Chains A and B, each alone.
Chain A
Amino acid sequence: MAGRAEFLERIRREVAKTPGLFGASTAPRPPRPAAAAEAIRRELAERWPQALDRFRQEFERVAGVFHRVPDLAAVPDTIAAIARERGARRLVTWDPAILGFDAGARLAADGCAVVAARAGQEDEASRLRHRADAAAAQLGVTGADLVLAETGTLILLSGAGRPRSTSLLPDVHVAVFGRDRLLESLEQVGVMLEDLHVDPDAAMSGAMINFITGPSRTADIELTLTRGVHGPKEVHAVFVEAP
């Protein structure tokens, strides 16, 4: 079996045959990602209302359901309403410390079982319990680390207290976010991704980033659009007005 050195040597030989044939360049990169990211955040601090309108428009176009609440205290009621409407009795959520609210008590009042992930739990027993809970849940509640207006996309980083499956296994996914998460363009997302990776160990605790643009969908049988083939059938975005 060819080793790395041999494999790369073969490629090096081929590459050497084409010196200067193609004077192409890669995409321009921000020389100082942190500064570029900060500049975008400053611009968006002004322009977020337009970005939010665009997000709503694009998100609804991909069958997302948009909600707007005045502050974090109002979020549990909104989640309870969605759960009631969808008949969800079992919920999983990201760590309330990350979300900034705890919907547990409010939903328990409706007779729903809520299991919240907690950063710091990672032993085998919690792992197994978590998987069973996530697989049985009908509704998952997460935050959104970046929200991309031009495509109606929610971007979630995995990590401690922010399991990947919360936005994947339940039938209904609810993501809660504030104005500081809004971005206008994929180009800006590129800058943010560059910034996150300058020191990924500091910026992210997990190994996965998911861009979520509407519910899971397929058109594999006679090109008929069908939602919820493996992932959620419904995605809700809850915008919290208070900064």
Chain B
Amino acid sequence: MSEGLLRTTLPDRAGAALRDTFLQQALTIATTKFIDLRRESFEGFPQGEALRDRARAIKEATLQHLDVHLERLADNVERLGGTVHWAATAEEAREIVLRLARDRGVRMAVKSKSMATEEIDLNEALEHAGVTPVETDLGEYIIQLAHEKPSHIIAPAIHKTKGQVAELFSRELGGRFEADPEVLTAVARRALRQKFLEADMGITGANFAVADTGTVVLVTNEGNGRMVTSLPRIHVALMGIEKVIPSMSDLVVFLAILARSATGQKLSSYTTLVRGPRRAGELEGPEEFHLILLDNGRARQIASTLREALYCLRCGACLNVCPVYRQIGGHAYGYTYPGPIGILLTAMLKGNESVRELAHASSLCGACKDVCPVRIDIPRMLVELREHLDREKIAPWSERVVFHAFRRLLLSPAAFRLSARAGRWLQRPFVRAGRLRGLPLLLGRWTRTRDLPPVAARTFRELWKELR
């Protein structure tokens, strides 16, 4: 059930993605569009830069006293009549949801998009227990019907064509539907409206939780977040412990930059602030509200390498600008969280072993850090992660040997000079069209997918000597 370590290799998965011509086209269009929308929205927003600094400072300060903020959040949620659950692991979180569902005779649960529930593989667990989970975000609904996994944090179904969606809906929902997004959206609206009204339980994640007031905040565009928190008799919210923020004054700082970073909107269509179960006098709203606080590997990073990854807002901006993500898409990463931040989150949640290959799926260009609304230094952490993999001997031996040799070479001017000369001579049979091609052994695997420039006819050091 849990994804554990993958059986396929990253090069296999990346290769499959590169051969998928529709995926290639969809990725280019989607990521380019998101980049443009984000840039335009920040261009007309001069205070944006200061707000990003402020948002980062809030995350730093909150983490510094995370225990205090979580206690305050829990106390306030309980004061409002909600129940707080503490889940140290994914398994515990699943158990809590399943027990709630079992005890209350839940047959169907409607879900609004939540990466945290993906992270704990909640849907499979619910199905096993005889509860039907229904994803209600349109993209997630498509993915669920197709039995696939999301390929982008905020646009989970960008890898599917409208033709594929029409076929899928026709087969799964009964009917003949035209391959028109407008028509297909209307089809999903009708099918899901019924589910919202019938479901016993609504399951959400949380974009933020305000400690001061006991408020869980959901940001959506479709309105499904509002449906699942208003109509079913039970609302269960699952959140990573790093989502807590101190106050409403902090919340508005994040709101000002979250949607801009994700979709270029000033605000998403709906920002929903939930303060416990429905109150006396209210006609609607859940009778029960449960908040599950999930650790699952987060706490141990508070004082460790991946600390900054705990600032992440899950906006997806770093995916769109990443030259690796833009080529291989989300599935090739193999885990719940794709893209540059996804590598760090995977290491956090599943351990360093799980990113043995992924830690290298970055050119360290730094574009991710530039667009991150809270300026997470992803490249620095990736480098540190690579260092860990080497030190813990998780990296393959060949890689360790090559890099250690390379290090030696760079540290000794004489060895470097000598190797340049030797290289010029050794490379002769492999230089084609100004590039090294078809190198033997391990080096061949490198040059198969990468351009390696040959050693120059005259090295910089030689030219420098002449010039002087």
A interface residues (Cβ-Cβ under 8 A, vs B): 1-4, 6-8, 10-12, 14-15, 17-18, 21-22, 24-30, 58, 62, 117, 119-122, 126-127, 130-131, 135, 150-153, 158-160, 163-165, 168, 186-187, 189-191, 193-194, 197, 200, 205-224, 226, 228-232
Contact = CB atoms under 8 A, between A and B. Distances in A.
B317 interface: no
Interface string B388-422: 00000000000000000000000000000000000
Contacts of B368: none
A220 B156 contact: yes
Given A11-B70, A207-B275, A231-B222, A1 B269 contact: no
A197 to B, nearest CB: 5
A27 B138 contact: no
A231 B249 contact: no
B67 interface: yes
A218 B74 contact: no
Nearest to A215: B269
B276 to A, nearest CB: 5
Interface string B298-318: 011011000100000000000
Contact of A27 (B162, B250, B285): B250
B170 interface: no
Contacts of A159: 279, 281-282
24 contacts: A11-B299, A15-B66, A26-B61, A26-B249, A152-B266, A158-B282, A164-B285, A168-B230, A190-B252, A190-B253, A209-B273, A212-B270, A213-B268, A213-B270, A218-B138, A226-B181, A226-B182, A229-B138, A229-B222, A229-B224, A230-B224, A231-B223, A231-B269, A232-B223
A164 B230 contact: yes
B267 A213 contact: yes
Given A27-B58, A226-B185, 5 more contacts: A130-B284, A191-B249, A208-B272, A211-B273, A213-B271
Closest 9 CB pairs of A and B: A231-B223, A160-B281, A17-B303, A220-B139, A190-B252, A24-B60, A211-B271, A193-B248, A224-B181
B80 interface: yes
Given A3-B86, A27-B54, A205-B282, A229 B303 contact: no
Contact of B275 (A8, A10, A165, A200): A200
B8 to A, nearest CB: 27
Contacts of B266: 58, 150-152, 213
Contacts of B255: 186, 211
B439 interface: no
B222 A216 contact: yes
B284 A230 contact: no
B431 interface: no
A26 B58 contact: yes
B189 A206 contact: no
Interface of B: 26, 29-30, 33, 54, 56-58, 60-67, 70-71, 74, 80, 84, 86-88, 92, 95-96, 136-139, 142, 155-158, 160-162, 165, 181-182, 184-186, 188-189, 192-193, 196-197, 212-213, 221-224, 226-227, 229-231, 241, 245-253, 255-256, 263, 265-285, 293, 295, 299-300, 302-303, 307
B279 A207 contact: yes
A27 B88 CA distance: 29
Contacts of A224: 162, 181-182
B390 to A, nearest CB: 24
A168 B281 contact: no
A229 B185 contact: yes
Contact of B229 (A150, A208, A230): A208
Given A14-B303, A160-B282, A218-B222, A210 B86 contact: no
A120 B189 contact: no
Contacts of A135: 193, 197
Given A12-B67, A24-B61, A121 B283 contact: yes
A157 to B, nearest CB: 9
Contact of A15 (B230, B270, B303): B303
A190 B271 contact: no
A108 to B, nearest CB: 22
A96 to B, nearest CB: 15
A232 B63 CA distance: 38
Contacts of A14: 299-300, 302-303
Contact of A217 (B74, B222, B302): B222
Given A186-B256, A211-B270, A230-B222, A24 B227 contact: no
A27 B282 contact: no
A15 B304 CA distance: 10
Contact of B57 (A25, A127, A223): A25
A27 B247 contact: yes
Given A4-B86, A226-B185, A229-B189, A212 B284 contact: no
Given A14-B300, A126-B283, A200-B275, A165 B57 contact: no
Given A27-B54, A117-B283, A15 B64 contact: yes
Given A10-B299, A159-B282, A230 B86 contact: no
Which of A11, A14, A30 has the most CB atoms of chain B within a 10 A radius of its CB?
A11
A7 B161 CA distance: 45
Contacts of A193: 248, 251-252
Contacts of B252: 27, 186-187, 189-190, 193
A161 B255 CA distance: 28
A212 to B, nearest CB: 6
Nearest to B88: A2
B265 A213 contact: yes
A177 B278 CA distance: 25
Contact of B247 (A26, A152, A219): A26
A223 B265 CA distance: 14
B64 A18 contact: yes
A217 B221 contact: yes
A218 B221 contact: yes
Contact of B284 (A153, A164, A197, A232): A164
Nearest to B34: A223
A169 B276 CA distance: 21
Contacts of A207: 80, 274-279, 282, 285
Contacts of B224: 229-230
B283 A122 contact: yes
Contacts of A160: 281-282
Contacts of B155: 219-220, 223
